[in-house]
Chain A
Amino acid sequence: MALAHEPIEYKGKLVEFPVENPAEKDIPLEEIHQHLARPSTPRTRRLKENCRWKHTAAGEFVDEGVKAGIERMRLITEAHKKSVGKPYVIRRALGLDHILRNCTVLLMADELIVGYHAENPKWIPMFPELSYMQIQDYLQSKYAPEPADEAREIADYWKPYTLQAACEPYFTKEELKEAYHPALIEAPNFANGFNSIVPPYETVLEDGLLQRIALAEQHIKAAREKLADLPWNADRLELTDKIDNWQAMIIADKAVIAWARRHARLCRIVAEHFETDPQRKEELLMIADICQRVPAEPSRGLRDAMQAKWFTYLICHAIERYASGYAQLEDKLLWPYYKASVIDKTFQPMTHADAVELFECERLKVSNHGAGKSRQYREIFPGANDLFILSIGGLNRYGEDNCTDCTDAILEAARNVRTAEPSIVFRWHPKCRLKTKRLVFECIRDGLGFPSIKHHAINAAQMLWLGRFSKNNNGATPEEAQEWANVLCMSPGLVGRRKTQKTRSEGGSSLFTEKILEITLFDGYDWSYANDQYGPHTGDPRDFKTFEELWEAYRKQIQHFISLAIRAKDISRKMEGRLLQMPFVSSIDDGCMEYGLDAMVLSEQPNPWQNPQCNIVALNSLVAIKKLIYDEKKYTMDQLIAATEEVPICQDTGVAVIFLELGQDVRIEGGYLYDAINAGVARGYTGGYLRKSMVYPPVDGKNSGDNTPAIIHTRIVPGEHLTITIAPKGGGSENMSAVGMLTPAAGYEGVKKFVVEAVKKAGPNPCPPIVVGVGIGGNFEKCALLAKESLLRPLGQPHPREEIAALEKEILEAINCLGIGPQGFGGRVTALAVHIEIFARHIASFPVAVNIQCHAARHKSVTL
């Protein structure tokens, strides 16, 4: 049922929190999400039902049919081969031109905003010019572009020309090893292809690209005249680079206009030759008219602005180059067009409800969008197709409330259509109007998970302060500092006609301070993940006499990794300026246009953002170490390090299962053997701080408090030795065990089917990847014991009988085709091994037992 907070007393008043819609009280929680979803029109309801989501879970795309397309990689390769010898910025422009003039353009049913970035609405484009590792990642996956041979050939072609290949020579092998570790710093963008940008949408909407082309032409004309001035001055040589940059901008802008107009033509052809619904036909002709005009011309109404913004987004984030994010101050950007259409009704007249529908359509376009991120990034952003965050609210450049009815339309659309993307940042300021703040909190109350709320004034002050360090003394002005938006999830950046962030190497990255603290405790050695030396040698903390020595070691480690991260960013940026220019982005930035510089080169507003992640873990740990080891001396550093190394990897440390092999010549003296074993188990579980799991009586009993009794299996063997094997067994995997009395005719196929079914039924419950123990033969209890004993065999060691070893292999393959994957998140590794033990059976019986062991398959033997 819907949850409402209990009334609370505040300043003598009782504040109640009633559910706004009383009907929600009777709706089960698992249904509340869909209940609250109410797309405002039949169109947006259909668009949501038919959305081609690109969500990921555990690194895999969730929906069927999502894969990488080959078209973009093919077209950019053709252009690269054809443009040899030309200035690199021109080659980049010609690459974009070739893509946009030859790519497939798509139109989906019902949509009001058109444009996609691949040849199929379920596919995503590839960027072979960025990182060869990322392309290899796709080629090896089930999402590989087809034809596979051609994709491999393209990847091979690009390898020497990639940003990654350009940057790697400036690092040693050791440094690259450290930089590519997934948990110390965010890997360099030249390795993972990850990127972020704040497109200067304002110039596209306000000027239109034809005006940008005219500006570039004027600059070229003036530069040529200056080149010809007498007498010659060698200082003017830099004009040649500028002319190339302006020329590249013109090529890029013309290509974008032609591409948008291809959409116009497609809409018109579909309206005139395919569509039978007269109302949709009219809509398509309207969209055709819009795409013919924008982004070539300035936007005049809200439909123009939304379409021009979407085209610009696709080029900046998904076609010229990949970039995550949906950075914009959307209500400020669109307010003039909302006003023209909804309030003044001077162009594309519409109601507020029409505007809300348009914003719902925008959200569904974003939900349909897919990013060709590397597997690592698909894993760390589970549930989403990418990071999409737009900003609203706060103050405008004049210090007035920026909230308008346009802000409300954006929030209403988010609340109505209930999609995870794009997320929203609300820039909090006391001046913001109450009506809009109420909508913000209604979105949060309804469980959207956004808007996140950021402090307008603090971030504006930060923009202003950072602007003081501008390389060309042209950082944020007080007015510009008010207009910031989140670049991705956390870092603010300027929006507007210039000074926005154009690439992630200009701002944004991460540092994992808790992992760095962990390796500091081991003199820079990463024992828990990579089992190798990753940081500098900063000493064995067991030799440190004071907390300050530990702090100094940690400081050196942090300095080492932050320098590596920022050096990688700076070298990326240098190389981006050499071979990954962005002429379209340059063309829409007033600064790049004015100076004739590429967007990868010009930096006006500094953004030193470097996310130190998991600081709380690191700081809490340091506080605890200072207090408990150095101040109160309750523990020693020896104890901390021993505990860190020996901590169990799961809270369920299991039942103590003991296998005894007792030589028939052995005589036990001084007490009962089983008592000694139980005493040992009690000591181990108590002294080692392992969880005690045994209860007695079994139905309604109490915990024994020391994990006894152990379960002991004894076998009398020849000789005078006693071998004790301990195999702790967790409850989660044990619960998934099965015994079946098959018919003798079931044969190998019957065994395979029974085992695979048991694993399939178990699903994620036994914490895969698992080891599967199988007992075949004997009787009811014997086959179960065989299954358990088989788990003691060294991992993956095949059964000595050839036919049983073959059966083990066959069952393992079948299990790994189930797709359960590690921890049940999907994937190809559900089981690590299948071990079978066999015994003779009765002619009328065919017992088979399955005993599943989680991935923490540990056992230890000692012979006395």
Chain B
Amino acid sequence: MAYCKECRSFFPIPEDADDFEPSKGDCVREEQDDKGKYWRAKPVMGDNDASKCPGFIKRIGG
């Protein structure tokens, strides 16, 4: 099974952040529409099942 925390788009929330929770991270994705690039961040839990996520790309290394 693939987990969010293994994805290249997963960025753990620092411990000193207002919204810190253990294993919580930001799923940050670069997107593009006809008007140009934009980036979106959505909170996710690292242990979420990502096996059906179309944007999942396994992080290589740590």
Q: Which of A255-263, A583-591, A764-772 contacts B (4 or more CB under 8 A)?
A: A255-263
Q: Is the CB of A270 within 8 A of B35?
A: no
Which of B11, B14, B17, B41 has its CB near the most chain A CB atoms (within 10 A)? B41
Contact of A269 with B41 at beta-carbon distance under 8 Å, contacts A101-B19, A274-B30 already known: yes
Q: Is B28 an interface residue (CB 8 A)?
A: yes
Among A103, A107, A254, A261, the residue within 8 A (CB) of B38 is: A107
Q: Whole-angstrom distance between the alpha carbons of A265 and B17 in the complex? A: 9
Among B17, B19, B28, B33, the residue within 8 A (CB) of A121 is: B33
Among A52, A108, A266, the residue within 8 A (CB) of B26 is: A266
Q: Is the CB of A269 within 8 A of B37?
A: no
Q: Is A474 an interface residue (CB 8 A)?
A: no
Q: Whole-angstrom distance between the alpha carbons of A51 and B37 in the complex? A: 12
Q: Is the CB of B37 within 8 A of A109?
A: yes
How many residues on the A side are at the interface (Cβ–Cβ under 8 A)?
29
Contact of A266 with B41 at beta-carbon distance under 8 Å, contacts A50-B35, A51-B35, A109-B36 already known: yes
| Interface mask (B2-39 → A, CB under 8 Å = 1, otherwise 0) | 00000000010110011100000010101001111111
Contact of A121 with B35 at beta-carbon distance under 8 Å, contacts A101-B19, A261-B18, A269-B26 already known: yes
How many residues on the B side are at the interface (Cβ–Cβ under 8 A)?
20
Residues 228-275 of A at the B interface (beta carbon under 8 Å): 254, 257-258, 261-262, 265-266, 269-270, 273-274
Q: Is the CB of A105 within 8 A of B17?
A: no
Q: Is B40 an interface residue (CB 8 A)?
A: yes
Q: Whole-angstrom distance between the alpha carbons of A50 and B11 in the complex? A: 29
- Per DSSP, chain B at the interface is strand
CB neighbours (8 Å) of A119 from chain B are 40, 42
CB neighbours (8 Å) of B42 from chain A are 102-105, 119
Contact of A257 with B28 at beta-carbon distance under 8 Å, contacts A106-B38, A109-B37, A269-B11 already known: no
- Give chain A nearest CB distance to B47 CB in angstroms: 17
Q: Whole-angstrom distance between the alpha carbons of A105 and B42 in the complex? A: 7
Q: Is the CB of A107 within 8 A of B35?
A: no
Among A109, A121, A257, A266, the residue within 8 A (CB) of B18 is: A257
Q: Is B55 an interface residue (CB 8 A)?
A: no
Total A-B pairs in contact (CB under 8 Å)? 75
Q: Is the CB of A109 within 8 A of B38?
A: yes
B43 to A, closest residue via Cβ: A102
B18 to A, closest residue via Cβ: A258
CB neighbours (8 Å) of A569 from chain B are none
- Give chain A nearest CB distance to B59 CB in angstroms: 11
Q: Is the CB of B18 within 8 A of A106?
A: no
A270 to B, closest residue via Cβ: B39
- Give chain B nearest CB distance to A685 CB in angstroms: 53
Q: Whole-angstrom distance between the alpha carbons of A832 and B43 in the complex? A: 50
A284 to B, closest residue via Cβ: B39
Q: Is A122 an interface residue (CB 8 A)?
A: yes
Q: Whole-angstrom distance between the alpha carbons of A50 and B19 in the complex? A: 32
Q: Is A688 an interface residue (CB 8 A)?
A: no
Q: Whole-angstrom distance between the alpha carbons of A50 and B17 in the complex? A: 33
CB neighbours (8 Å) of A106 from chain B are 38-41
Q: Whole-angstrom distance between the alpha carbons of A104 and B38 in the complex? A: 12
Q: Is the CB of B35 within 8 A of A105?
A: no
Q: Is the CB of A121 within 8 A of B41?
A: no
A101 to B, closest residue via Cβ: B19
Q: Whole-angstrom distance between the alpha carbons of A107 and B37 in the complex? A: 9
CB neighbours (8 Å) of B34 from chain A are 64-65
Q: Whole-angstrom distance between the alpha carbons of A764 and B40 in the complex? A: 41
Q: Whole-angstrom distance between the alpha carbons of A273 and B13 in the complex? A: 15
- Give chain B nearest CB distance to A48 CB in angstroms: 11
Q: Whole-angstrom distance between the alpha carbons of A103 and B26 in the complex? A: 11
- Give chain A nearest CB distance to B12 CB in angstroms: 11
Q: Whole-angstrom distance between the alpha carbons of A617 and B49 in the complex? A: 65
CB neighbours (8 Å) of B30 from chain A are 270, 274
- Give chain A nearest CB distance to B25 CB in angstroms: 10
Contact of A266 with B19 at beta-carbon distance under 8 Å, contacts A65-B33, A121-B33, A122-B33 already known: no
CB neighbours (8 Å) of B26 from chain A are 262, 265-266, 269
Contact of A261 with B41 at beta-carbon distance under 8 Å, contacts A50-B35, A50-B36, A121-B33 already known: no
| Interface mask (A468-505 → B, CB under 8 Å = 1, otherwise 0) | 00000000000000000000000000000000000000
A-B contact pairs, 10 of them (CB 8 A): A51-B35, A52-B33, A101-B19, A104-B40, A106-B38, A106-B39, A257-B18, A262-B43, A269-B26, A270-B30
In the A-B complex, the 9 residue pairs with the smallest Cβ-Cβ separation, listed nearest first, are: A258-B18, A266-B41, A50-B35, A50-B36, A107-B39, A109-B37, A108-B38, A104-B42, A258-B19
Interface residues of A (CB under 8 A from B): 50-52, 64-65, 101-110, 119, 121-122, 254, 257-258, 261-262, 265-266, 269-270, 273-274
Given A52-B33, A270-B39, 18 other A-B residues pairs in contact with their CB atoms under 8 A: A52-B35, A65-B33, A65-B34, A103-B42, A104-B40, A108-B37, A254-B18, A257-B18, A258-B19, A261-B18, A262-B26, A265-B14, A266-B41, A269-B11, A269-B26, A269-B28, A269-B41, A274-B39
